[in-house]
Structure 1
Amino acid sequence: MYYSDYNRPPEDREPVIETNQFHVYDSEPPKKTKKGGLGKFLAVGLCCAIIGGGVGGGAVWAINRFGGNTATIYEGTRPSAVSLANVDGKTVLSAEEVYASNLESVVGVNGNVTTNVWGQTVKNAVSGSGFVISSNDTASYILTNYHVIDGVTDITVFFADGKSYDATLVGGEEENDIAVLKIDQGNLRPVVLGDSDAINVGEDVYAIGNPLGELTFTFTGGYVSAKDRSVTMSDGTVMNMIQTDTAINSGNSGGPLFDKYGQVVGIVSAKLSSSSSSEASVEGLGFAIPINDVKDMVTSIMENGYVTGKPNVGILMSDVDESAQRYGVPAGSEVLAILDGSCAQTAGLQVGDIITAVGDTTVSSSDALKSAIKDCKAGDSVTFTVYRSGETLTINVVLDEDNQERQDAMNQLSEDYNQQQQQQSQPQQGGNYYYNFPFGNW
């Protein structure tokens, strides 16, 4: 008899076969006689003990359905709170600890932004991010990007706990894209600054910021993709940057970039994105200003309102036009105007001089001239190679300090020069015009 005989009519079933080893019945098997209750109890208890051990302390749910069938669901337990870790520069923190230990130090910077990236009106939209760099009993200082607050009035900063404070601009450095804000609220928790020179390519880094101006206090992570990247900004300024694949978007600017120890190693500043003319999308290319590059500048701004020791020559300058170069005039930076009493005037520079080199560094443009002097300080003596009326000269210049007084004087010199050029651009006898080339002051 086969087991399939149970599904056949009785008259079609095979006869009963009886052996000494086992019995097969031509009808449904008889019910088994219940045996020792204690043994069954012990077996069930053993099974429960095994299941309980496998769950590891989790809860066990038994659901009875359809006359006794049982489905078991296992529910685990875990701690939900993350303790605030001590940022000591020696202990590697988990991503959760980096976020929890630094969240209260990060802010959203509101610069009168009322719409998000989709053009929708939103409450408390932010134009960028920032972080508490220092705090005393009565006030706190916040570091952000210069481009976040450039031209902005009525600056407000928001914290993750919902509190907001009016902020004033202490000072900024546009060329290095940093700005320091001050709020009248003391005893806040500042971040711990790390050593950006010590980070390695491939190391974990994290950012806290406000992407899209609305997704506030978002945490993202990635790797250091490269160090010492020379990145040309939209205004032509060349900056040294940390490259990372950490997700960075509009609204993250000015926020902190943390290393695996929970220390700030960079200021999130830019993201390279695809243009309308590019067929391929660009992802994972974000940049941050190394904190070591601006530490001294930030301290100087907090103490003086500006970066002390920054050099200034006292000239208005412009690139030599390409048409002039066809007639043997060298490429370089042409002196358009000189500030009275400046180091340029003292050294003997003249209007019309073309600066072609600083020391051993060739200068082919005004931006190149700025770059050649970038690492110098006020009081340093530098040698300019100058082309003047067909001759090449060398002039030693002791650099002035670029303080607020000097900036005001240079702005006035620029205004005077512009007015003079506008007057000269009026139609002259014979219908001639003078073309006003773009220039910069320095």
Structure 2
Amino acid sequence: MKEFQVKPQTQALTADQATPLRVFWLTTLSMVLILSQTLMAHARGAPETFADLAETISPAVVNITTTTTVAGRTGPQGIVPEGSPFEDFFREFQDRQGPNSDRPRRSSALGSGFVISEDGYIVTNNHVIEGADEIMIEFFEGQELPAQLIGTDPNTDIALLKVEAEAPLKFVSFGDSDLSRVGDWVMAMGNPLGQGFSVSAGIVSARNRALSGTYDDYIQTDAAINRGNSGGPLFNMDGEVIGVNTAILSPNGGSIGIGFSMASNVVTKVVDQLKEFGETRRGWLGVRIQDVTDDVAEALGLEKAAGALVSDVPEGPAKEGGMLAGDVILSFDGVDVIDTRQLVRVVANTQVGKTVRVVVNREGETETLKITLGRREEAEGAVPASMSGEDMEEGPASADIMGLTLQPLSDELRSELELEDSARGLAVMAVDETAEAFEKGLRPGDLITEASQSQVLTIEDLEARVEEAREAGRKSILLLVRRGGDPRFVALSLEASE
């Protein structure tokens, strides 16, 4: 290792020489301090304390106690089969519980919530108050008030309550959850494990998490969230609610640092509709869709795997607007479509009755459709579009193509496969388990109705579509497959047909 020594200057500086040097060092020091402060501001280190924030927003956070009537036990029925040797044992056990054991009981549950307006509207989780006969709100100062249920949305697990107070209530406002970044500080408040008002802090661990719902958009956080925190708020450092604490991932029921809060930009739209209508009113396009995978994109000749592929168009707004199965939705109401999950959320958040522009790719060409949205809640029982087509022509009884043993439909085969009389296409009779088709989920009993977005009624139809795709330089062919009435597109390699 080299050693360096600072040697003193042997020659003294004159006053004229010292002044510019002093100015230089002062200027340099100022620039270093400014740069340091700028970097510190961007780093936004841990706050010295969360106390001021907690003190400000605590009065708007509430504990929720619900009471539910539970039917009494009438005997061991349902616990053990009738005639079981354990029947007498369970009857004796129940008798020891006393003469009142078969009477209805009152069961209580705890949760959290927060006030969003001075006139008493309160947000919580649907699962906190679901089935409750009575809902009691406890405020930070100790006051208790009964609450009225305004409306619920099980899809996002959000409920809106209302209390009548003599004086204006302290409340908190929603923030823009889209502005939150991974690594931002957040604070959770609620009533964990029934211990009363409690605060925990952490960071945003991830965004745009999906758990199991269609409209899921969760913020993941490592702030401690436990049972009883459900329905409580997740705050940013400006005291704005950016999420509603809803779920945790845990092997033991306690917090392990993986909690989920429904993003405020989802919650606010639900709350506005519950407040106005007492129910949700989501936009409905009226299509069945699937993601555009790399092989599907290649089969369709698309530049990239993006958008939503329309697999079926039942009676509804999209069909009235001219949309067809096989269209790829690229843009909806001015928003580029990334995948099916994003499209579902965008459509649901669009006003019912609004006429929107939908840009689709159809057989390599871009088209713009005008579609007036319906209401999803009124269309939950929509029936898939029926099959159409001419009766099949005579041809080979069956054929093996791309690892599939296929056979044109006949009346006998429709009956055997429990298909509607209107069903048309090629039935999958067997699938080679070593073939790509088996890997991609095709099974005996499936029905192939289209190839390369053209209807196939006979073996010759499919063979012609395969040859056309090969001549066009395609590496795969897109099949429309139906199972139990549900359609989906599957791209199979053309090499498997050689």
Letter matched to residue 133 of structure 1:
I
For residues 291-326 of structure 1, the C-alpha deviation after alignment (integer angstroms, 9 at most, x for no partner) is: 355435433432333556x5322x25265999xx7x
Letter matched to residue 170 of structure 1:
G
Q: Which residue of 1 aligns with 2:51?
A: 95
Within the alignment, does 1:381 sit opposite 2:356 as a pair?
Answer: yes
Q: Which residue of 2 aligns with 1:193?
A: 173
Within the alignment, does 1:286 sit opposite 2:259 as a pair?
Answer: yes
CA distance in 2, matches of 1:96, 1:123: 37
TM alignment of 1:211-250, pairs within 5 A = 211-212=192-193, 215-226=194-205, 229-235=207-213, 237-241=215-219, 243-250=220-227
Letter matched to residue 436 of structure 1:
G
In the alignment, which of 266, 272, 293 is matched to residue 299 of structure 1? 272
For residues 381 and 203 of structure 1, do their structure 2 counterparts lie closer, same or farther at Cα, with a shift above 3 Å needed? closer
TM alignment of 1:113-132, pairs within 5 A = 124-126=108-110, 128-132=111-115
Q: Which residue of 2 aligns with 1:57?
A: none
CA distance in 1, matches of 2:166, 2:486: 46
Q: Which residue of 2 aligns with 1:267?
A: 244
Q: Secondary structure at the match of 1:217?
A: coil
Contact 1:316 1:439 in 2 (8 A): no
Within the alignment, does 1:252 sit opposite 2:229 as a pair?
Answer: yes
Contact 2:214 2:344 in 1 (8 A): no
Q: Which residue of 2 aligns with 1:108?
A: 64
Q: Secondary structure at the match of 2:150?
A: strand
Aligned length: 307
For residues 211 and 234 of structure 1, do their structure 2 counterparts lie closer, same or farther at Cα, with a shift above 3 Å needed? farther
Larger Rg: 1
TM-score of the pair, normalised by structure 1: 0.54
CA shift, 1:131, in A, is 1.4
Q: Secondary structure at the match of 1:301?
A: helix
Letter matched to residue 370 of structure 1:
V
Contact 1:333 1:369 in 2 (8 A): no
TM alignment of 1:404-423, pairs within 5 A = 407-408=377-378, 410-411=379-380, 413-414=381-382
CA shift, 1:219, in A, is 0.8
CA distance in 1, matches of 2:170, 2:138: 13
In the alignment, which of 433, 436, 439 is matched to residue 484 of structure 2? 436
For residues 392 and 436 of structure 1, do their structure 2 counterparts lie closer, same or farther at Cα, with a shift above 3 Å needed? farther
Q: Which residue of 2 aligns with 1:346?
A: 320
Q: Which residue of 1 aligns with 2:116?
A: 133
Q: Which residue of 2 aligns with 1:143?
A: 123
CA shift, 1:256, in A, is 1.4
CA distance in 2, matches of 1:200, 1:235: 23
Q: Which residue of 1 aligns with 2:136?
A: 157
* C-alpha RMSD of the superposition: 4.8
For residues 316 and 225 of structure 1, do their structure 2 counterparts lie closer, same or farther at Cα, with a shift above 3 Å needed? closer
Contact 2:248 2:255 in 1 (8 A): no
CA distance in 2, matches of 1:356, 1:111: 50
For residues 104-155 of structure 1, the C-alpha deviation after alignment (integer angstroms, 9 at most, x for no partner) is: 64131537398xxxxxx996322x321121243xxx2111234545x63535
Contact 2:117 2:170 in 1 (8 A): yes
In the alignment, which of 318, 328, 332 is matched to residue 309 of structure 2? 332
CA shift, 1:239, in A, is 0.9
Q: Secondary structure at the match of 2:58?
A: helix
Letter matched to residue 317 of structure 1:
R
CA distance in 1, matches of 2:229, 2:133: 20
Unaligned runs of 5+ in 2: 1-47, 71-104, 302-307, 388-411, 420-482, 489-498
Q: Secondary structure at the match of 1:252?
A: coil
CA shift, 1:336, in A, is 4.7
Within the alignment, does 1:317 sit opposite 2:288 as a pair?
Answer: yes
Contact 2:231 2:245 in 1 (8 A): yes
TM-score of the pair, normalised by structure 2: 0.49
For residues 85-119 of structure 1, the C-alpha deviation after alignment (integer angstroms, 9 at most, x for no partner) is: xxxxxxx98537725852464131537398xxxxx
CA shift, 1:255, in A, is 0.6
For residues 122 and 257 of structure 1, do their structure 2 counterparts lie closer, same or farther at Cα, with a shift above 3 Å needed? farther
For residues 186 and 293 of structure 1, do their structure 2 counterparts lie closer, same or farther at Cα, with a shift above 3 Å needed? farther
Identity of aligned residues (%): 22
CA shift, 1:159, in A, is 0.9
Q: Which residue of 1 aligns with 2:442?
A: none
Q: Secondary structure at the match of 1:299?
A: helix
Q: Secondary structure at the match of 1:174?
A: coil
Unaligned runs of 5+ in 1: 1-91, 115-120, 421-426
For residues 179-236 of structure 1, the C-alpha deviation after alignment (integer angstroms, 9 at most, x for no partner) is: 3123445535242215346767666543222334xx2434132122346x12011235
Letter matched to residue 354 of structure 1:
G
CA distance in 2, matches of 1:145, 1:180: 8
CA distance in 2, matches of 1:153, 1:354: 46
For residues 307-352 of structure 1, the C-alpha deviation after alignment (integer angstroms, 9 at most, x for no partner) is: 56x5322x25265999xx7xx689823225213xx3x2431235xx
CA distance in 1, matches of 2:54, 2:216: 31
TM alignment of 1:162-181, pairs within 5 A = 163-172=144-153, 174-175=155-156, 177-181=157-161
CA shift, 1:174, in A, is 2.6
CA shift, 1:274, in A, is 4.7
CA distance in 1, matches of 2:289, 2:266: 28
For residues 357 and 201 of structure 1, do their structure 2 counterparts lie closer, same or farther at Cα, with a shift above 3 Å needed? closer
